[in-house]
Amino acid sequence: MMQRRSFIASSIALAAASALPERTRGAGLAPFPLFDTHAHFYTNQPDKYPFNARGARYGAERMIEKAMNNPMTPEAVFRLWDRVGIEMGTGVQYNSTYATDNSYLLDVAKQHPDRIIPVVILPPTDPATAPTLQKFAKENRIAGVRFTGSQNQDGQFVYLSDAAKDAWAVCNELGLAIVLMPLGNQIPAAVKQIAVFAGRYPNVDIVIDHVGFPQPYNLPQTQGLTPEHLELAAHKNVYYKFTNFLIAETNDNARRAGKPEVELKPWVEYMVNVYGADHFVWGTDVGNVEVDQVEYVQKCLDATAGLTEKQRRDFFYNTAKRIFVPGGHGRRRA
């Protein structure tokens, strides 16, 4: 489903950023700071941080080669961040390199607590997950956990089932965010179940990766939002992550369907009209999506040019800072 761009363009962009004179770094592409809610970190030190790439979408061998040749260390990611004006962000555990071994992410977050806030991946139905989340919240200052995957043989998204209730309950108690990325051809069914869980766990800020993969080339009247997506607007603890990857993936799919590329500005304005700019967060997906990151950050900024300054600050910074709180935000809702 998810076709990648050549990694060369992304690598060139990062290398170019590192070559800039020091005085130009941090000036940024926007007149306000950015918060990157989707950065992946991995290193080329398998002796210290062994790879577990069996779940990599394009195969373990390709993933390991990519990590060895282009590790996404803090230094590499910060070069991009400094170039485009990203103040800080969430480090999202990268399943494709380490599965649920969060060691490298937690180590780099500990080394850079002013810039990296960790979002881990753990098995949603494992009895050990709830106590591990409590431990990570206290000792490692995680802001949340990410669950992803398609339906199982019983037609369930297991992380949206009663089997995952202990993990959801502890996140509800601590105020940890839960980031969800439903996959497969039944995403609307997952979105419908997200609405149920949003009501059941009101103290969890639910963040839907890539806005739940809307398909504007198939549903132009609603910019790709299905009825299930639209119904989520009533749930104020559900948030939507707009990413550089979503732009690349959507246009790849449009081309495969023989449709023109999506016009980003009206797309973003429609989604903001539906959900509110204060319910959007933004992320690069650096380390995963293989595009010229500087170019794509600019694309995202340009797409919001019609919003007010407050809306843009909410979209690119304020909302993320509010919901991704190290250690969790505690009880703040009835």
Please determine, for residue 22, whether its predicted confidence score (pLDDT) is greater than 50: no
- CA–CA dist 296, 10 (Å, integer): 10
Contact 280, 272 (CB under 8 A): yes
Q: Locate 189 and state its tokens.
A: 């069914």
- Which tops the pLDDT comparison, 8 or 327? 327
Please determine, for residue 5, whether its predicted confidence score (pLDDT) is greater than 50: no
- Which tops the pLDDT comparison, 1 or 248? 248
Where are the domains positioned within the chain?
Answer: 24-323
pTM: 0.91
Please state the φ and ψ torsions of residue 89, each to the nearest 5 degrees: -175, 180
**For residues 72-83, average pLDDT:** 98
- Which tops the pLDDT comparison, 327 or 22? 327
Please determine, for residue 17, whether its predicted confidence score (pLDDT) is greater than 70: no
Question: Comparing 1-15, 246-260, 270-284, 311-325, which segment has the lowest mean pLDDT?
Answer: 1-15
The DSSP string of 49-111 is: S----TT-TT-HHHHHHHHHHS-B-HHHHHHHHHHHTEEEEEEEP-HHHHTT--HHHHHHHHH
Quote the longest CA-to-CA distance of the chain. Answer: 57
- Cα distances (Å, whole numbers) of residue 206 to 82, 176, 234, 236: 28, 9, 13, 9
Please determine, for residue 333, whether its predicted confidence score (pLDDT) is greater than 60: no
Chain mean pLDDT for the chain: 91
- Which tops the pLDDT comparison, 31 or 10? 31
**pLDDT-derived band at 56, boundaries 50, 70, 90:** confident
Per-residue pLDDT at 16: 44
Please determine, for residue 190, whether its predicted confidence score (pLDDT) is greater than 50: yes
List pLDDT tens digits, range 245-296: 999 999 998 899 899 888 999 999 999 999 999 999 999 999 999 899 999 9
Please state the φ and ψ torsions of residue 39, each to the nearest 5 degrees: -115, 135
Please determine, for residue 4, whether its predicted confidence score (pLDDT) is greater than 70: no
Please determine, for residue 23, whether its predicted confidence score (pLDDT) is greater than 80: no
Length of the chain as a residue count: 334
Task: Give the range with max mean pLDDT: 22-26, 219-223, 258-262.
Answer: 219-223
Per-residue pLDDT at 276: 98
Please determine, for residue 10, whether its predicted confidence score (pLDDT) is greater than 50: no
What CA dihedral angle connects 257, 261, 265 and 268, to 10 degrees? 30
Type of residue found at 233:
A
What architecture does CATH give domain 24-323?
Alpha-Beta Barrel (3.20)
**For residues 127-133, average pLDDT:** 98
Per-residue pLDDT at 277: 98
Question: Comparing 56-65, 227-236, 272-281, 289-298, which segment has the lowest mean pLDDT?
Answer: 56-65
**For residues 125-134, average pLDDT:** 98
**pLDDT-derived band at 140, boundaries 50, 70, 90:** very high
Per-residue pLDDT at 8: 36
Q: In terms of Cα–Cα distance, which of 234, 246, 322, 314 is closest to 275?
A: 234
Per-residue pLDDT at 321: 98
The partner residues of 88 in beta bridges, in order of sequence, read 35
Please determine, for residue 334, whether its predicted confidence score (pLDDT) is greater than 60: no
| Whole-number percent of the chain with pLDDT over 90 | 84
Contact 215, 188 (CB under 8 A): no
| Whole-number percent of the chain with pLDDT over 70 | 92
